[in-house]
Amino acid sequence: MPTMADVARSAGVSVATVSHVLNGTRPVSPHTRQAVLDAVDALGYTPNTLARSLVTSRTRSIGLAVSAISNPYFTEILQGVEAAALHAGYSLLIADPHDDPGHERKVVQLLHERRVDGMIVAPSAHPQDLVGYLRRHAVPTVFLDRVIDAGVRDGTAAGGPAGAAPGEAVPWYDQVCAESAGPTARLVTHLAELGHRRIGLVAGLPGLSTTGERVAGYRDGLAIAGLAHDERLLVSGHSESAGAEQATAALLALQDPPTALVTANNAMTIGALRALRRHGLSVPSDIALCCFDDFAWADLFSPRLTAIAQPSRELGAQAVQVLLDRLDEPCRPTRTVRLPCAFVHRTSCGCPEEPGAPEEPESTASSTQPQKGTAS
Minimum separation from the CB atom of position 64 to ligand HPA (A): 15
CB-based burial of residue 49 (10 Å sphere; 0-12 exposed, 13-18 middle, 19+ buried)?
middle
Which pairing describes strands 342-344 and 362-363: parallel, antiparallel, or unpaired?
A: antiparallel
Question: What Å distances lie between residue 19 and 25, 26, 47, CA to CA?
Answer: 8, 9, 10
| Paired strand residues for 201 | 234, 262
For residue 105, give the amino acid letter: R
Residue 19 or 239: the one with the smaller Cβ distance to ligand HPA is 239
Q: Which is nearer to ligand HPA, 71 or 364 (CB)?
A: 71
- CB-nearer residue toward ligand HPA: 257 or 311: 311
User: Is residue 302 helix, strand or coil?
Assistant: coil
Question: 361 CB contacts (<8 Å, ≥6 apart)?
Answer: 309, 342, 343, 344
Q: Where are the beta strands (DSSP E) in 46-165?
A: 61-65, 91-95, 118-121, 141-144
Among 45, 73, 173, 343, binds ligand HPA (CB under 6 A): 73
Q: Which is nearer to ligand HPA, 10 or 265 (CB)?
A: 265
CB of 154 to ligand HPA, least distance (A): 23
Q: Enumerate residues 231-290 that contact ligand HPA by CB under 6 A.
A: 239, 265-266
The minimum distance between CB 113 and ligand HPA, in angstroms, equals: 26
Nearest distance, CB of residue 266 and ligand HPA, angstroms: 5
Judged by CB under 6 A, which of 76, 117, 145, 213 binds ligand HPA?
145
State which of positions 204-223 bind ligand HPA (CB under 6 A): 210
Query: Is there a contact between 125 and 103 (Cβ–Cβ < 8 Å)?
Result: no
Q: Which is nearer to ligand HPA, 10 or 71 (CB)?
A: 71
- Which residue has its beta carbon closest to ligand HPA? 265
Q: What share of the chain is helix, strand, coil (3-state, %, to 5)?
A: 40, 15, 40
293 sits near ligand HPA (criterion: CB under 6 A): yes
Nearer to ligand HPA, 81 or 324 (CB): 81
- Which stretches of the chain bind ligand HPA, using CB under 6 A? 71, 73, 145, 210, 239, 265-266, 293
